[in-house]
Amino acid sequence: MQTSFSPQQLARPEIAEADGILRTCVHYGFCTATCPTYVLFRDENDSPRGRIDLIRAMLEKGGAPDAKTVHHLDRCLSCLSCVTTCAVKVDYTHLIDIARSYIERHFRRPLGERMLRLLLAQTLPYPRRFIAAMKLARLARPLAGVMPKRLGNLLQLAEREPRTELVKPQVIPAEGRRRMRVLLLTGCAQQALDADINAATIRVLTRHGCEVVIAEGAGCCGALPLHMGREDEGRALARRNVAAWSREWTDGIGAVVVNASGCGTTVKDYGHLLGTDEAKRIGAMTRDVTEILADLDLQVQPDWKPYRVAYHDACSLQHGQRVTAPPRQLLRKAGFEVIDLPEKHFCCGSAGTYNLLQPEIAQTLGQRKAAHADSVDPDVIAAGNLGCMVQIGRYTQVPMLHTVSLIDWATGGPMPLALQGRTLREPERKPAQPERKPAQPEPSPSIAPASIETPPTSNDSGFW
């Protein structure tokens, strides 16, 4: 794509970066076929290709963007499905971030929207504030029906009684011989909404020989404000984490472990966001918890029941981080039967704050995803991101669990809270066989799994 920025515009780093990205787009359009909003609306402006054009026009023109542009860019989920699909590998990830930041700086939103965004930005990244807000929201739940849709959705977050627990800075020793020392990001909203995830992560890591360090001063990764274009706030949170982790950094640190894939995508990109050597080092050392566990020798419980697990690929994990094989390998190794969802490349509508800011589209996508999950008749649905769990959980009766909670349970941890009090079906089949070969390097995400990686065919129909 040709662009026409002035030399003055190109002197600004973010415009120069955007220009380089824009020039790579040649409008093949593969992105459209996997873009949730284009699939829903068939509107060019709601496709990645169309949005790239809108961004180009907005940045070239300068000044305040028009409402139409903002409308369509706001509707982008940043699910990055387009990045996986793109034939020429347009760096849409950073382009949409630049655009969101530009809009935040140059566009005056209506008062109600500004207030909502401010509320989210000042609450979600801070666990104590979020917990307090949840308590207030529970009191206000009777008013949900008469409140504006978006506020009503906020109150829905408080529908269930979450298990809240703030993890204090500490060092949790490995059980037995220490094999690795890792920093764990305990996150923000996750601590307020589902403390079980961090607890299970710590249990499973320590059980497998990891010493877990919770660093003093680390908190929200910055993804939530960044997702709303609040770049300065996002950077500030990222800097705080880099500083906190750098203080703990010793030669023995093997990785920064993240168990919320939305955060993982952001932390892995700290090098780009902050540009410092420390940030680059941390970004390069960051791993999703399933990547770490895949490298450890999973202590599988004998005679584990092969419950049927529908695995949902969080967009941030499959498109943002290109981590698709390790969660499946782990779950299978632990003895579960793992089922892929139809349309697994598609977003569930959670997308950071998207389900709060774009509730109608998010609801459509959430219902669509939950229907796909239900259609494979699972005992549980697993995902590697809290946002997806909350979002899909709204539209299905099937228990929704974090992958690490299942791994913890299957390797000696307690039954996950979400399953307690439920009766799961007695599995009919034998556990899936462990991988025939040692864990292989993960295939490129742009390449579907080769035949050797597909689930074993349970029944060859007698043809063979």
How far does CA 63 lie from the centroid of its chain? 32
Closest CB 28 distance from another protein, rounded Å: 6
Closest CB 104 distance from another protein, rounded Å: 24
Residue 393: partners with Cβ closer than 8 Å, 6 or more residues away: 400
Closest CB 176 distance from another protein, rounded Å: 34
Q: Is the CB of residue 421 less than 8 Å from the CB of residue 445?
A: no
CB-nearer residue toward another protein: 92 or 409? 92
CB-nearer residue toward another protein: 41 or 141? 41
Closest CB 198 distance from another protein, rounded Å: 33
CB-nearer residue toward another protein: 250 or 459? 459
* Burial grade of 44 (CB within 10 A; 0-12, 13-18, 19 or more): middle
Give the integer Cα–Cα distance in Å for 320 and 293: 19
Give the integer Cα–Cα distance in Å for 269 and 280: 8
Give the integer Cα–Cα distance in Å for 330 and 404: 9
Closest CB 124 distance from another protein, rounded Å: 33
Closest CB 272 distance from another protein, rounded Å: 21
Residue 400 pairs in a beta bridge with 381
What are the φ and ψ backbone dihedral angles of 264, each rounded to 5 degrees?
Answer: -60, -40
Residue numbers at the binding site for another protein (CB under 8 A): 2, 24, 26-30, 33-34, 42-45, 49-50, 53, 84-85, 87-89, 339-345, 375-376, 437, 440-441, 443-444, 446-452, 454-455, 457-461, 463-464
Show the tokens assigned to 358. 């774009």
Show the tokens assigned to 50. 């169309």
Closest CB 293 distance from another protein, rounded Å: 22
Residue with structure tokens 């709060």?
356
- Of 257, 253, 276, 277, whose CA–CA distance to 267 is shortest? 257
Closest CB 440 distance from another protein, rounded Å: 7
CB-nearer residue toward another protein: 229 or 320? 320
CB-nearer residue toward another protein: 40 or 64? 40
CB-nearer residue toward another protein: 42 or 160? 42
Closest CB 340 distance from another protein, rounded Å: 6
CB-nearer residue toward another protein: 7 or 462? 462
CB-nearer residue toward another protein: 44 or 60? 44
CB-nearer residue toward another protein: 117 or 345? 345
